[in-house]
Amino acid sequence: MSATGIVSPRLRMPGPVRARRRTGRGLSWALVALVALLTLLAIFARLLAPYDPVQPIGALSLPPGSPDHLLGTDSIGRDLLSRTLYGIQVSWFAALVVVVSGLVIGGIIGTLAGVAGGFIDNLLMRFTDLFLALPGTLVAIAIVAALGYNLQNTLIGIGVVWWPYYARIIRGEVKALASRPHVEAARLAGAGPARIVFRHVLPGVIPTAIVTASLDIGNVVLLLAGLSFLGLGQPAPAPELGADTARNLGQLLTEPWIPLIPGLAVLLLSLVANLGGDGVRTLIGGRR
Amino acid sequence: MTRFLLRRLGSAVVLILILSAVIFLLQSVSTADPVKAYLGANASPAAVAAARQSLGLDDPLPVRYVDFLTNLVQGDLGVSYRTHRPVVTDLQAFLPATMELVLWSFVIAVLLGGLFAVSGALRWRGSSIFRGPLLVLATAPPFLLALGGIVLFYAQLHILPANGRGPGETGPTGFLLIDTLVAGDPAGFASAAQHLLLPAVVLAIAPAIAIGRIMRSSLTNTLGADYVRTAESKGLTPFRVLGRHVVRNSLGPGLSMAGLQLGFMFAGVVVVEQIFSWPGIGNYLAASIPTSDFPAIAAVTLVLGTIYIVANALVDVLQAVADPRLSA
């Protein structure tokens, strides 16, 4: 496997392309605040939801803007605002779990490879390239199909294919930092490998890692929603954005808000995540 | 160059083998029991044991993997639990529709991405009216775009159909647009094109932005190059400067991204086909998921995954042809 050209399609998001147009710092803080607000919304979804998301509580198929049901109700009378809030909670935290696990697994492998160099580096990066060259989404679908359909297995499936990208980026950063004078100086001063890694190399990697991860959240939100749409998520009555759209496809032409609202919530999550990622990049900088 | 070609194709073969090993391993840990699916849930323990023996399920894993590969090479991907037909038969019926959708969608993605890149890099006045919404659309989940498109163009405006490929007959190529044209069926052709438009555009938007962004930055870099200034100052028309010097030299990154996105689209097609009831293998996969039809899911993963790997290998080779430095 030649390393050339085997690049993750996800390189499209955090690519150097958008670095051209720098957002102002004030605006960047506002964008990051938006992400924080969304996270708060997700944390307190259960408190904010006016009704039980699973129990039918109102008239059937009320349109949005109805007095007691801000976003209306679905065809069996469940409150759409409540379902959407619960769905946002699930989607947002699931995406964070995937990104953090990718960051941790990829971080460990990338750091090991970058620090060890030589044979171990070669071995680990070959392994990483192999994962990058396989079609991640499809492999994730196959994993979930084999293990059984539930949210936990979906997270495992995506987690398995999501780390290699981080491993590559972090290995590159570690390699670049390891040859810098301050690391050389620490080595000459007699610092052990563990001390060098944790005190002198990793702190320098963190900004890039955070920027990369924050720009990636939107991708994961979309992927999770897509798998949920296909039925690879929570089973039936549980509120989940992708699945709620899929289950109500039949109402698209008669009561379009029922399938569209969960989809719009996914758009909101992915939009806020992407804008927030841009903000984080402007504020932290990183190497990109 | 030959060595590079061989090495790259060799690595693609290795990758396909590894993909098949992954699928095989998943099949062996799968919760769906092939024997139960084969005999029905009420089979006696003795019958189950006998079936396990005859299906070779008691053999050691490496032996079973070799069996699996042998079957694969002979075109045997197992029998679908849902349709009770050999999976290969199903795939042959559905693959052409997927290929047609993805290829046209890819063409649209490249055109749209190119327009995005050129209008951005040259700062065409007013073009941000088109780029801004496109950027927002690219962050939307594809299923939302598909549904929005159906509501707008089918339900409200009545100008585009919302499901299937149209009434035209497929012929030898399986590509409806080509077959209706060859058969001299203009009505069928028009209908096929109409049916194709919405799903193809929906599938094209995210890749178009990915391609457009890369191309725009590479165009912007090239526009600032000294030889472009030279070309301008020696009096070439802007059109000539663009065509001869700028676009040619900034195509590389866009090409490689386009290839990657083509592979990517073969995964994204699943959701789009399901919504538009497009009779392709993505729809087949989507229908296989709720019934836990693992042989079908595994086979589609393998076929689409192989296409993905081959597409990426071809892109690498094409790039090396375009820029021989890459094959060194």
Chain B neighbors of A226, CB-CB under 8 A: 141-143, 268, 270-271
SS (H, E, C) B152-205: HHHHHCCCCCCCCCCCCCCCCCCCHHHHHHHCCCHHHHHHHHHHHHHHHHHHHH
Please tell me which residue, A45 or A154, carries the higher pLDDT value. A154
Decide if B143 and A246 are in contact by the 8 Å CB cutoff. yes
Residue A281 has pLDDT above 80, yes or no: yes
Residue A101 has pLDDT above 90, yes or no: yes
pLDDT at A202: 87
Neighbours of B123 (CB within 10 A): 9
Mean pLDDT of chain A: 83
- Give which of A17, A154, A257 to mutate to test B binding, by max B Cβ within 10 Å: A17
pLDDT in tens, A178-237: 888 888 888 888 888 888 888 888 888 888 888 888 888 988 999 999 999 988 888 778
Confidence of residue A14 (pLDDT cuts 50, 70, 90): very low
Q: Which of B217, B292, B315 sits opposite A145 (nearest CB)?
A: B292
SS (H, E, C) B209-275: HHHHHHHHHHHHHHHCCHHHHHHHHCCCCHHHHHHHHHHHHCHHHHHHHHHHHHHHHHHHHHHHHHH
Residue A106 has pLDDT above 90, yes or no: yes
Chain A neighbors of B77, CB-CB under 8 A: none
Decide if B27 and A146 are in contact by the 8 Å CB cutoff. yes
Residue B55 has pLDDT above 50, yes or no: yes
Burial of A222 by CB count in 10 Å (0-12 exposed, 13-18 middle, 19+ buried)?
buried
Q: Is B271 on the interface with A (CB under 8 A)?
A: yes
Q: Which residues pair with A79 in a beta bridge?
A: A73
Decide if A218 and B139 are in contact by the 8 Å CB cutoff. yes
Decide if B260 and A7 are in contact by the 8 Å CB cutoff. yes
pLDDT at B170: 67
pLDDT at B182: 78
pLDDT in tens, A37-48: 999 998 988 888
Residue-range domains of chain A with CATH: 86-287 (1.10.3720.10)
**Distance from A251 to chain B by nearest Cα, in Å?**
11
**Distance from B173 to chain A by nearest Cα, in Å?**
26
**Distance from B97 to chain A by nearest Cα, in Å?**
19
Confidence of residue B11 (pLDDT cuts 50, 70, 90): confident
- Write the single-letter amino acid at B282: G
Rounded Cα–Cα distance for residues B100 and B149 (Å): 20
Q: Is B256 on the interface with A (CB under 8 A)?
A: yes
Decide if A263 and B263 are in contact by the 8 Å CB cutoff. no
Decide if A4 and B316 are in contact by the 8 Å CB cutoff. yes
- Give which of A160, A219, A230, A249 to mutate to test B binding, by max B Cβ within 10 Å: A230
Mean pLDDT of chain B: 82
Residues 12-31 of B with CB under 8 A from A: 14-15, 18-19, 22-23, 26-27, 29-31
Decide if A245 and B143 are in contact by the 8 Å CB cutoff. yes
Decide if A222 and B19 are in contact by the 8 Å CB cutoff. no
Q: Is the ipTM of this complex over 0.90?
A: no
Q: Is B96 on the interface with A (CB under 8 A)?
A: no
pLDDT at A9: 39
Residue A119 has pLDDT above 50, yes or no: yes
CB A208 within 8 Å of CB A169: yes
Residue-range domains of chain B with CATH: 90-285 (1.10.3720.10)
Nearest C-alpha in A relative to B283? A230
Q: Is B121 on the interface with A (CB under 8 A)?
A: no
Decide if B309 and A134 are in contact by the 8 Å CB cutoff. yes
The pTM is what?
0.84
- The structure tokens listed for A42 are 């997700």
pLDDT in tens, A238-263: 888 888 888 888 888 888 888 889 99
pLDDT in tens, B206-224: 899 988 888 888 888 888 8
- Write the single-letter amino acid at B149: G
